[in-house]
Amino acid sequence: MQKIPIKLAEPEMILEKPVLRPNGLVIVGEGTTLTETLINRLENMGIKGGIEQGNAIIYEGKMMTEIDQRQRLVMIQDKGLLARTALLIDYQAGGRVDDFKQTFEEIKEILLKRYGHPATFYEKGDFNDDLAQNLANGEFVRNYEWHFPEGVVRLGIPRRTDRQVRIEIHFARTLPSIKLNRWGLEQVR
């Protein structure tokens, strides 16, 4: 299978894999023959060609148009099958914690409107100027989950060994316990 940037896509090409949103919803199905209209629609959504990083394919683009921060759609493969999709929303280094909290709350509101109340959630600690340190020490946790027959959608701020702080939304058949804070995509920097 060959991966190409969307700008190199041409009408009549056939998708070997579906293009998905972070919640697992199919944007364009496997086996779809590309048309000029469809290619333009993908470009307008900000979806650019994927970059492979180990078992992950990463797409730069704005999946949540209401959110201004950098967003990356990640598809994780396991044995050739799609195992997890995630949307990563970066926290700008040197950014204000209040702005980061506001972004998190905006994303939570978007998901609440889309999916209703979460099936479960786990919160520990407060948003403050020591957020990165508290996250690294396990003193800060924010995880919300919505359960569906197809899998789990999780919104949270996972703990990372590189001490980066970012918001992640995952969709997978299963995810580690909601109380654990090491569930993020460490391999994607």
Are residues 101 and 62 part of one domain? no
46/95 same-domain check: no
Report yes or no on 185 lying in a domain.
no
Q: Which two tokens stand for residue 25?
A: 């919803």
11, 85: one domain: yes
Alpha helices (runs of H) in the chain, residue ranges in sequence order: 36-44, 97-115, 131-136
Q: How many domains are there within the chain?
A: 2
Q: Listing from the earlier edge strand, what are the strands of the sheet with 151-156?
A: 51-53, 56-60, 71-78, 81-90, 166-172, 151-156, 141-148, 120-124
Q: Does 120 fall in a domain? A: yes
- Indicate whether 107 and 156 sit together in one domain: yes
* CA-based R_g, the chain, Å: 17
Torsion angle of the four alpha carbons 51, 54, 56, 60, in this order, in degrees rounded to the nearest 10: -30
Quick one: 81 and 142 in the same domain?
Answer: no
- Name the stretches of the chain with pLDDT < 50: 1
Domain final residue, candidates 40, 66, 89:
89
Residue 186 in any domain: the answer is no
Looking at the structure, tell me whether residues 95 and 81 fall in a common domain: no
Both 48 and 81 in one domain: the answer is yes
Evaluate whether residue 187 is within a structural domain. no
Do 20 and 66 lie in one domain? The reply is: yes
Q: What pLDDT is recorded for position 187?
A: 77
Residue 179 in domain: no
In a shared domain, residues 63 and 111 = no
Ramachandran angles phi, psi of 35, nearest 5°: -120, 165
> Residue 25 has what pLDDT?
58
d(CA 24, CA 27): 9
Specify the pTM.
Answer: 0.75
Residue with tokens 């409107």: 113
Residue 159 CB neighbours (<10 A) = 20
**14 and 71 within one domain:** yes
Q: Is residue 188 part of a domain?
A: no
Query: How far is the C-alpha of 148 from the C-alpha of 172, rounded, in Å?
Result: 10
Task: Look at residue 1 and tell me if it is in a domain.
Answer: no
Query: So what's the pLDDT on residue 167?
Result: 96
Same domain? For 100 and 85 the reply is no
Identify the CATH number of the domain in which residue 141 sits.
3.30.1450
63, 89, 115 — which closes off a domain? 89
Last residue of a domain, one of 69, 89, 109: 89
As a 3-state breakdown, the chain gives helix, strand, coil percent values, each rounded to 5, of 20, 30, 50
* Residue 54: domain span: 6-89
Q: What does the pLDDT read at residue 113?
A: 94
The pLDDT value recorded for residue 35 is 79
